[in-house]
Amino acid sequence: MLMNVYKALYFFIVFFCFSCKSQTKKINGVSFVASRDSISNKHILPVLNIHSNFIALMPYSFIRDVQKPKIEFNTQREWFGETENGLLQYAQQFKKENVSIMVKPHLWLRKGGFTGNLKPTSEENWQLLEKSYKDYMLTYAKVAQKINAEILCIGTELEKFVMHRPEYWLSLINDIRKVYSGKLTYAANWDEYKRITFWHQLDFIGIDAYFPLSTKKTPTISELETGWKSHKAEIVKLQKKYKKSILFTEYGYRSIDYNAKEPWQSNRVEGQVNLKAQSNALQAIHNQFWQEDWFAGGFIWKWFHEHDNVGGKDNNRFTPQNKPAEKLLKDLYSQ
């Protein structure tokens, strides 16, 4: 009788362990916006409250003039959270709470313009861009190693830079690997990711997932999932080609009418607030991807440190904070 009890207990333990191993833990991340100030535990608690286990920290750099594309970073003109010291302070606070980190440097063009269109007009200027970008990335690769960041993103939406200088990027990846031992990805724009040539050198296929899904004012969850079908098929095709997990380095939707028509649009402040459209879109993307074994997870765009003072029912921007989308995200991330 006792032997039968031991056998039953043994098979239960084996089954339980096998079940645990077969489940893939997803990256339930937030893109944590850099601020003027340092942060404390009170700024981290709302992130923990939605069951987020990962954050993207985003040190910024800028180019004053695209005609002379030298990248500047760690300057007095940047906010504290956008600098190396800010990254170190933010990381220290989040690591205390066992939240994992992706370091995701962002480049900003001072006089406007999309970074994906950055393309110097002479070899001299290409050299200027490449040297300064390497300095920028290696600085933060070393910081990422110092803070034990789990992931480093080597670039964000730099399509023409990537397409026209492929050898440079392979060399850059090699140099980064010499100083950083964690996982690497690149944040390709939704209409760029299929043309990246160096996915085989990285650990994740990173996509900023602002795919157009519907032209309706308030598409239903079902309609949005239908809108995902063709995009998802292309993502799966690439995943099978490279045998790398897919990571949504950014995903998210504004709480505004027609938010799934051109989800990348962020420059239109005007627009009717539509909280339902935001929640539907978040539910649809989770339904389509979070259960897939080949999907690593994603980072919602975006999350501000002063939680009580942002978002809300009258806000039509990307943040889910203090909206029905926040409660939904909490439920989704808890799964």
Asked whether residue 290 is domain-assigned, the answer is yes
For residue 261, the one-letter residue type is K
Residue 13's pLDDT band, with cuts at 50, 70 and 90, is: very low
Q: Is the pLDDT of residue 18 over 60?
A: no
Burial degree of 276 (CB within 10 A; 0-12, 13-18, 19+): middle
pLDDT at position 228, please? 98
Helices (H), 111-220: 123-146, 159-164, 166-179
H or E segment and range at residue 156: strand 151-156
Q: How far apart are CA 129 and CA 121, in angstroms?
A: 11
Above 50 in pLDDT, residue 19?
Answer: no
Question: Residue 4 and residue 1: Cα distance in Å, rounded?
Answer: 5
Q: How many residues does the chain have?
A: 335
pLDDT tens-digit readout, 25-58: 999 999 999 999 999 999 999 999 999 999 999 9
Interatomic CA distance for residues 151 and 81, integer angstroms: 18
pLDDT computed for residue 242 by the predictor: 98
Asked if residue 9 has pLDDT above 50, the reply is: no
**Which stretch, 104-118, 213-227, 260-274, has highest mean pLDDT?**
213-227
As a whole number, mean pLDDT of residues 312-321 equals 97
Is 324 a residue whose pLDDT tops 90?
A: yes
Instruction: Name the pLDDT band for 111 (thresholds 50, 70, 90).
Output: confident
Query: 236-295 pLDDT, tens per residue?
Result: 999 999 999 999 999 999 999 999 999 999 876 678 999 999 999 999 999 999 999 999
Position 24 scores a pLDDT of 63
Does residue 30 contact residue 251 with C-beta atoms inside 8 Å?
A: no
Residues 6+ apart with CB under 8 A from 16: none
Residue 107 is assigned to a structural domain of this protein: yes
Residue 221 lies in a domain: yes
Q: What pLDDT is stored for residue 62 in this prediction? A: 93
DSSP, residue by residue, 184-212: EEEEEETTTGGG-S-GGGSSEEEEE----
Gap between the Cα atoms of 88 and 81, Å rounded: 9
In a domain, 11, yes or no: no
Judge whether 206 and 157 are in contact, CB under 8 Å: no
- Residue 31 sits in a domain whose CATH number is 3.20.20.80
Per residue in 132-155, pLDDT (tens digit) is 999 999 999 999 999 999 999 999
pLDDT at res. 231: 98
The mean pLDDT of the chain is 92
pLDDT band with cut points at 50, 70 and 90 for residue 77? confident
**What proportions of the chain, in percent to the nearest 5, are helix, strand and coil?**
45, 20, 35
Tokens of 84: 């190396």
Among residues 212, 195, 197, 290, which one has the least CA distance to residue 245? 290
3-class secondary structure, 240: helix
Query: Would the pLDDT of 12 be above 90?
Result: no
Helices and strands in the chain: count of H runs, count of E runs: 9, 11
pLDDT value at 7 more than 70: no
For residue 58, count other CB atoms closer than 10 A to its CB: 22
Distance CA 330, CA 335 (A): 9
Strand blocks (E) in 48-103 = 54-57, 60-63, 71-73, 100-103
Domain hosting residue 44, numbered range: 26-334
Instruction: Please tell me the distance from the alpha carbon of residue 219 to that of residue 308, in angstroms, as a whole number.
Output: 29
Which residues, including other chains, have CB under 8 Å from residue 72's CB and lie 6 or more apart? Answer: 61, 62, 63, 64, 132
What pLDDT was estimated at residue 270?
75
Whether residue 234 is predicted with pLDDT greater than 70 in this model: the reply is yes
Give percent of the chain above pLDDT 70: 92
Number of domains, the chain: 1
- Kindly state whether residue 14 falls inside one of the protein's structural domains: no
Beta bridge partners of 103: 57, 152
Q: What pLDDT is recorded for position 267? A: 75
Amino acid 14: pLDDT: 35
